[in-house]
A and B are shown apart, each in its own frame.
Chain A
Amino acid sequence: MSGLTGAPATGDAARPKIEVVGLAKRYADVDAAQPAVLERIDLTVAENEFVSLVGRSGCGKTTLLNIIAGLIAPSAGEVRVDGKAVTGPGGGKGMVFQQQALFPWLTALQNVEFGARTRALSPAARRREAEQLIDLVGLAGYAERYPAALSGGMQQRVAIARALALDPQILLMDEPFGALDEITRIDMQHELLRVWSSRRKTVVFVTHSISEALMLSDRVAVMRAHPGVIAAEFRIDLPRPRQRTHAEIVALHDRIWRHLN
């Protein structure tokens, strides 16, 4: 085992795509004595880097992702994308949610086309792009189905295609496979890596599965609750696809687990 891999990561040399600086989130309407949801969060994500946020339920990882997305305003600190402060959602930040966030009144293809809505494309080009993305996520033949007629795994494939249709620079994923059974989940992890290798994006991926984070990420940020903080970061310099049983993966799993407790 190489000495450097698996060591807690420090700052990144590559150009930062996302910078989270001194971020905190408190809810004013709850008891002031309650610990903050998020406190002193600093995180830098390099361009095209895949970073996972791992932690127990209630550690604030989804809140952090929503703040990066611009869906929630922080109480203090700020999020910068390409050096510019994030003030709201949209603007090239694609998001994949855990639950069924597809529009049920649109077919799979129409959902993906909807994602491409604001791009400067002719209707025909938009349709072609949506069809290509449907193919890319392995759903050729299911384009005309409504979400209710798709399995959970297929719905999340459409959701990924819809987020990619924005042609975003950043892909934010909020436990996208959390509601899937384990077999489908492992399939989807492979699918995501395949899609990511053909459409490179900067990814922030929230999960409560340590092994999922280890299979996918360049870097794992481990979060702890009350108040929500980033307790440690781990770099994983292993080629993909990775083996769950690889000695480094097993060792890192162990170390992350200890940081969670």
Chain B
Amino acid sequence: MSASVRWRDAALGGIGTLAVLALWEAAARWGGASPLVFPPPSTAVVGALERVPGDVLVGHVTISLQRIVLGFVAGATLGVVLAVAGGWYRILGNLMRPIVELLRPIPPLAWIPMAIVWFGLGESSKVFVIFLAAFFPVFTNAWKGVTGIDPVLLRAGQTMDLTGPALLFKVALPAAMPDIATGLRIGWGLSFGVLVAAELIAADSGMGYMIMNARQLADVGTIILGILMIGAANLVTDWAIGAVIRRRLGTWHPV
């Protein structure tokens, strides 16, 4: 894609975003709704920024990202390890597949009461819910990657004296990387998806807490600011992960 086409696409994206904001602004100003319920974005965000100090905002973002990173890293690591082991060694796979299939459709939020009983009201229960959100998509995609390898690649490896773990690490794992990468990106997105719910658990910090707390204070502006911050944090981090994946895999695989 040429630079001019990229610029044009970026410009169109910007125009689309601004158009939605402009419509919202116009509807709020001239639509007759109460500004306490449906404020225009300009006054909502500006007002919220005046009420909530910058260092407090940064603190909320930092603690939320910390929880997401902890839960995601734990869930993704376990997901990749179990899926690769189970996808490669048939006995392990047969052992784990039914239980994973049973647990997979359960929404991570259904685990919140269990999380509180097991881990109390501290950080661990919030991280656990995010862990669950990250684990399943990573597991499912890594499994698909390891079990879906073109057999000719494995046979080629075997004719080059690779067997057992060497074949797994030198052929199967690199071949499964595109699917594993897809799982990681989906898992990262879902980790954000359960953040607000995880921060419902007796939290006094984080972007989810900020939103819920603002609701009790009927501070619609802060709610809107918090929502936009979650979106922006997800967007920026997902873009960064995508950039790393493109750097690592983009040379040989279309991503």
Contacts and interface: CB of A to CB of B under 8 A. Distances in A.
Interface of A: 66, 69, 71, 88-91, 93-95, 97, 99-106, 114-115, 117-118, 146-148, 162-163, 166, 172
B169 to A, nearest CB: 13
Given A101-B155, A103-B153, A105-B175, A114 B252 contact: no
Contacts of A104: 175, 252-253
Interface stretch (B7-15, B41-49, B157-165): B157-165
A166 to B, nearest CB: 6
Given A90-B159, A100-B152, 8 more contacts: A88-B158, A90-B160, A90-B163, A95-B155, A97-B156, A103-B174, A105-B249, A146-B252
A94 B159 CA distance: 6
B14 to A, nearest CB: 33
27 contacts: A71-B158, A88-B163, A89-B161, A90-B158, A90-B160, A93-B159, A94-B159, A95-B156, A95-B159, A97-B152, A97-B156, A99-B150, A99-B152, A100-B152, A101-B152, A101-B153, A101-B156, A103-B153, A103-B175, A105-B174, A105-B175, A114-B160, A146-B251, A148-B253, A166-B160, A166-B161, A172-B159
B62 to A, nearest CB: 36
Contacts of B251: 146
Nearest to A69: B159
A103 B175 CA distance: 8
A92 to B, nearest CB: 9
A93 B171 CA distance: 19
Contacts of A93: 159
A118 B253 contact: no
Contacts of A97: 152, 155-156
A117 to B, nearest CB: 7
A235 B175 CA distance: 42
B177 interface: yes
Contacts of B177: 105
Contacts of B152: 97, 99-101
Nearest to B162: A90
Given A103-B174, A105-B174, A91 B252 contact: no
Contacts of A163: 159
B252 A148 contact: yes
B179 to A, nearest CB: 13
A166 B162 CA distance: 12
A168 to B, nearest CB: 9
Contacts of A100: 152
Contacts of B158: 71, 88-90
Nearest to B157: A103
B139 to A, nearest CB: 22
A188 B153 CA distance: 22
Contact of A71 (B159, B162, B171, B175): B159
Given A101-B155, A105-B174, A117 B252 contact: no
Given A103-B153, A105-B174, A89 B159 contact: yes
B155 A147 contact: no
Given A71-B155, A101-B153, A105-B174, A115 B160 contact: yes
A86 B37 CA distance: 79
Contacts of B160: 90, 114-115, 117-118, 162, 166
A146 B252 CA distance: 6
